Amino acid sequence: MRVAIIGATGYGGAELVRILHQHTAISEYTLYSSSQAEVAISDSYPHLTTISNQKLQSINIEEMSKNSDVVFMATPSGISGELTPSFLENGVKVIDLSGDFRFNDPDVYETWYKKASAPREVLEKAVYGLTELNREQIKNARLIANPGCYPTATVLGLFPLLKNVAVDLDTIIIDAKSGVSGAGRKANIGTSYCEINENFRIYKVNEHQHIPEIEQTLKLANSNLGPIKFNTHLVPMTRGIMATIYCKPLCKISEKTLRELYQHQYDNDRFVRVRKMGEYPATKEVYGSNYCDIGITFDERTGWITIVSVIDNLIKGAAGQAVQNLNVMLGIDEGTGLYGPPVFP
Ligand SMILES: NC(=O)C1=CN([C@@H]2O[C@H](COP(=O)(O)OP(=O)(O)OC[C@H]3O[C@@H](n4cnc5c(N)ncnc54)[C@H](OP(=O)(O)O)[C@@H]3O)[C@@H](O)[C@H]2O)C=CC1
Ligand SMILES: CC(=O)N[C@@H](CCC(=O)OP(=O)(O)O)C(=O)O
């Protein structure tokens, strides 16, 4: 299996390098950049010194197609939509970390990403790569749309509830927080130290591009779901996402029943850990790992459910989930290269 990474100089790409380094089934991977060539990746990322001395190569679709079986696109939105159709025509599989292939309807992408969509006929080839929901389809996929970081935490946190419990759908509120690496490595005033440090800020209020992705996926659990209330905050930490989700069930439900329902849903999913009663996960408890940890409770006093779902945005929210999907496509142990425990403290 020959693997290529486009966008290797970004945070998602560098995490792919780190994970593939410890992946027992992948011995060969090549790194591509649109802005640098013949420069070692370890010059951009000294933590990769002696781990990868590979030089970055220029992107050339024909050459890459001869030398690669799978391409990871760790690029900003809009790039994969342009390059992927040619890779697919050349018989190369694509795992896209961007939002370019996540929607069934091109108009939705164009409305929320404010960019031209990939053609509808290529969108139709894409399988949404939330491994826990779509494992069977991923096995035979040629194009994976790796989910967004917030949708990963949110959907894993809400799906079992919406599928199994009658909930007042108008009451669902998703309050999400992210570390700054979610914004990528490129320089930006909004993510500079002085703007982030000792600060806590809401952003993209009511217009985050992950809103339609969450709606589209959660409608598979309950087709009556309407527009969701979802907002995002930037937290002065490097990695991690916490989605705190509130909603009101239509009838009383015990905390024990709720937990059993979640445990049943994720029984065969080694990367989702449902916490014991009264325990709520913190982002550091999944830091550097492919886990999504979920805590859930029902408040007898108010009749509301609270769900807390945490991931590492760069791992389960991006590079880790992308490798999990690669493993499923290869028909090998889904956790290959991903068994590293969280780094704590
Ligand atoms: N950061 C996160 O937590 C998550 C990110 N994502 C998505 O994954 C993708 C990568 O994110 P991230 O690694 O954080 O982003 P970064 O900004 O850190 O890196 C993106 C990389 O894309 C490359 N690139 C830029 N323009 C082009 C171009 N025109 N053609 C080819 N390559 C280009 C750049 O490398 P070079 O200049 O060397 O070509 C750059 O290093 C994005 O779509 C992001 O939204 C998804 C989930 C979580
Ligand atoms: C902290 C931060 O800025 N996070 C980014 C995550 C972007 C992302 O992953 O975008 P796509 O999934 O659409 O590719 C954001 O909120 O836009």
Residues 232 and 114 in one domain: no
Q: Select from 84, 109, 124 the last residue of a domain.
A: 124
Whole-model pTM above 0.90? yes
115 occurs within a structural domain: yes
pLDDT at 181: 98
pLDDT at 53: 87
Q: Select from 89, 106, 124 the last residue of a domain.
A: 124
pLDDT at 86: 98
326 occurs within a structural domain: no
pLDDT at 1: 87
| Domains: count for the chain | 2
Residues 24 and 70 in one domain: yes
57 occurs within a structural domain: yes
Q: Give the mutation target among 97, 102, 177 for probing the ligand 1 site: most ligand atoms within 8 A of CB.
A: 97
Closest by Cα among 304, 301, 284 to 293: 284
Q: How far is the CA of 183 from the centre of ligand 2 (A)?
A: 6
201-252 pLDDT, tens per residue? 999 999 999 999 999 999 999 999 999 999 999 999 999 999 999 999 999 9
Residues 120 and 161 in one domain: no
Mean pLDDT for 1-8 is 96
165: helix, coil or strand?
coil
Token pair listed for 167: 């909930």
130 occurs within a structural domain: no
Q: Indicate which CATH number applies to the domain containing 106.
A: 3.40.50.720
40 DSSP 8-state letter: B
71-125 pLDDT, tens per residue? 999 999 999 999 999 999 999 999 999 999 999 999 999 999 999 999 999 999 9
Q: Give the separation between CA 31 and CA 339, rounded to whole angstroms.
A: 23
Write out the residue range of the structural domain in which residue 80 sits: 2-124
Point out the residues that are catalytic.
Answer: 149
Residues 159 and 308 in one domain: yes
9-45 pLDDT, tens per residue? 999 999 999 999 999 999 889 999 999 999 999 999 9
Residues 175 and 277 in one domain: yes
329 occurs within a structural domain: no
319: helix, coil or strand?
helix
Q: Indicate which CATH number applies to the domain containing 229.
A: 3.30.360.10
138 occurs within a structural domain: no
Q: How far is the CA of 236 from the centre of ligand 2 (A)?
A: 16
| Structural contact between residues 177 and 149, judged by C-beta atoms closer than 8 angstroms | no
> Is the minimum distance from the CB of 266 to ligand 1 under 6 angstroms?
no
Instruction: Give the count of beta carbons closer than 10 Å to the beta carbon of residue 251.
Output: 8
Residues 97 and 167 in one domain: no
44 occurs within a structural domain: yes
